[in-house]
Amino acid sequence: MKNIAVYPGTFDPVTNGHLDIIRRAADIFDEVIVAVLVNKNKRPVFSVEERLKHLKENTQELKNVKVDFFDGLLADYMKLKKAKVAIRGLRALTDLEYEFILANTNRELNGEMETVFLMPSAKYTYLTSSMVREAYSLGGRLKNCVPPSVEKELVEKYKK
């Protein structure tokens, strides 16, 4: 049986930190599904279609990585995909409290699934999508934070 992992997130936008985690997961699991969460309560900067495009463009060299989206519970999506492992990235201790609650809640909802935490390269431990959005919305530029195609679209978005 294939060992399938799901990497869920908002990816608004995908950063080099996310891509670092995806590469590490692809090295470990037979198949990695990067799953964009469609959260109707959030107003993302990039549409689901745009986020899927960014993820596909930047993972195409990884043959065991697929890109998908879901709404509703991750626990249900995992069952649908017959995936046992949910991947989450751990940057620093600040992530731990939220991730601890999330992993335990997911375990309650789906006793079959395990959450596996991966750490990115140290240079990405400070990187968050929200900080990227904030910087670009105020006209700033960040080096080595997002892929070039995403940076171009970020600049375009905030020009409007």
Annotated catalytic residue 18: yes
Pairing of strands 4-9, 65-70: unpaired
CA quadruple 74, 76, 78, 84: dihedral sign: positive
Pairing of strands 85-89, 4-9: parallel
Give the whole-angstrom CA distance, residue 140 versus residue 148: 15
The site string for ligand ADP over 127-156 (x = CB under 6 A, - otherwise) reads: xxx---------------------------
Binding flag, residue 9, ligand ADP (CB under 6 A): yes
Give the whole-angstrom CA distance, residue 136 versus residue 117: 29
Binding flag, residue 54, ligand ADP (CB under 6 A): no
CB 33 within 8 A of CB 68: yes
Give the interface segment with ligand ADP, choosing from 4-12, 47-55, 77-85, 133-141 (CB under 6 A).
4-12
Using the minimum distance from each CB to ligand ADP, give the nearer residue, 4 or 118: 118
Give the interface segment with ligand ADP, choosing from 24-32, 56-64, 74-82, 83-91 (CB under 6 A).
83-91
**Sole binder of ligand ADP in the list 59, 124, 146, 153 (CB under 6 A):** 124
DSSP state of 64: T
Active site residues: 18, 42, 91, 129
